[in-house]
Amino acid sequence: MKKLTATLLSLLMLIAALGGCRPKDAEESRAPEGGGAEPLQVFIDVEFGSNVFISVREFLRDYEAETTKGGKTKYKSLQAVIEELGGPEDIELEFAPKCGDERDAYMTALRTEIMAGKGPDVFVTLSGYGNHWDDASLSKLCREDSLFQFPKQAMERNMFLPLDDYIEKARFMEWDKLTTIIMETGKNEHGQLLLPMTYTVPVATFKSEDIDFRLDGNTGLTWRDMLSGPPELVVSAAKSHASMQSAALYPIADYKKDELAITEEELLDYVTSRKDAYEQCKEMKFPEGSISCLMPLNWFDDEYGSENQLTMAPLFSRSGGYSAVVTSFIGINVNTNRPDDAFFIVDYLMSKEAQQSKLYTHMTWGNAVPTMEGLLSGRGNGISDGDSKYYYMSENLYSEFEKLRANISGADFYTPLDAEFFELEGELYDGPSKPVEELVHDMYMRMNMMLAES
């Protein structure tokens, strides 16, 4: 796995620009049948923010391995696998550039095309934003945003096909095994529009013997309760994942009004309280543990051993309970001319087989878990490392993960709002250029502007 990791002046001219951009990043499995019919286009954008250095294009080219009688390994592409299952024969995979000006131009053109009632039939994408190294040499750090920066706004604007009737007839996905509260993130009054593929929870993990906190009986705590709680909760509140702090302020946005759901005063109070708690931690003794987000691997194996009982302490929210962060999703363009074929793709990519596959490697490695319950529980239920192995949680970690998952009280998509918290954190702790009140005011105005203009 070392090779995989290193620790998302006119309309006519824009559309014309897209024509010059897209074929470069498309792969077609077979010529479309029926002569002249457009292929089924599947947009895949799961590499930004990922530090897996094998491209998803390569993963999907060598999607499924089989051993021949002579002992040689042969690979089938994703398109070939879907075709063998009875799916469409003319799938065209479209990959967004990962970084830089090329990506910006591509995304601008693609958004214009979608707004004109066109665009890919299926979207498979990370949500929010991502910071990643552009290559394994770690020479260039990129920060990129998702195609749909605020998925719930896109849902409100009827950009996706309602899937409820299709889900009832699904062949591959096991709907009752997809975590309900996570799937509800992709639903509104029009029905199930998006299907979350992966998610995470800002969480700290400790050896149970080292702390007093237990999740049992404490699932309704608030972020304020953490500040007055035992050391493990104080340090978790103060040092939780910098780019997922919106979970502490859940719900942070009102997507029907396109504005923040918190006041500037509430934001300032949160920022200053977190900073004070951070300073307080310098004078405290607190247990050793991992303060990050939900990960599939047991980072305690090397130091403590998988026999230790573990306790997870989630980042509780201002409203009580704790929320998950949806990190990737799949949906169908409301303007597709081939809804049945498009759903065949969606159905398969939400199946157990697909959620264990290389497609999910960029989406899960190091920071997220698939939405299908039962995965990661042991042998036979592992998820691909992108190479030849499948990994899963140790029994002590999985049992605590099950408890954590069962008590999630809400969920929202990862968005560029989360990037604002990450940037502010760097400013505060590297030596602020302005008083904290001014920094928070500027941040608050930017966040509201993002929501209003998206």
* pLDDT over 90 percentage in the chain: 71
pLDDT digits over 372-411, tens only?
A: 999 999 999 999 999 888 989 888 889 999 999 999 999 9
> Please, are residues 332 and 158 in contact by the beta-carbon 8 Å criterion?
no
Confidence of residue 298 (pLDDT cuts 50, 70, 90): low
pLDDT digits over 125-171, tens only?
A: 999 888 776 666 666 777 889 999 999 999 999 999 999 999 999 99
Q: Which helix (H) or strand (E) covers residue 198, if one does? A: strand 194-200
Pairing of strands 40-45, 26-28: unpaired
- Which amino acid belongs to residue 263? T
* pLDDT over 70 percentage in the chain: 88
Res 249 pLDDT > 60 = yes
The whole-number average pLDDT for the span 186-213 is: 96
Confidence of residue 6 (pLDDT cuts 50, 70, 90): very low
DSSP readout, 391-430?
Answer: E---HHHHHHHHHHHHT--EEEE--HHHHHHHHHHHHHHS
Instruction: Name the token pair of 105.
Output: 């131009």
Q: Which helix (H) or strand (E) covers residue 197, if one does? A: strand 194-200
Q: For the stretch 186-200, what's the b/e string if a residue is b when 16 or more beta carbons lie within 10 angstroms of its beta carbon?
A: bbbeeebbbbbbbbb
CA distance 378 to 391: 8
The whole-number average pLDDT for the span 423-450 is: 93
Check residue 259 and give its pLDDT. Answer: 97
CA distances to 2, 49, 241, 406 from 298, rounded to whole Å, are 17, 22, 18, 19
The whole-number average pLDDT for the span 277-296 is: 86
> Please, are residues 410 and 251 in contact by the beta-carbon 8 Å criterion?
yes
CA distance 247 to 206: 20
Confidence of residue 78 (pLDDT cuts 50, 70, 90): very high
Helix axis angle, 264-281 relative to 231-239, nearest 10°? 120
Residue with the bigger pLDDT between 303 and 134: it is: 134
- Size of the chain in residues: 454
pLDDT digits over 305-336, tens only?
A: 577 899 999 999 999 999 999 999 999 999 99
DSSP 3-state of 230: coil
Mean pLDDT of the chain: 88
Closest CA to 92 of 135, 146, 30, 50: 30
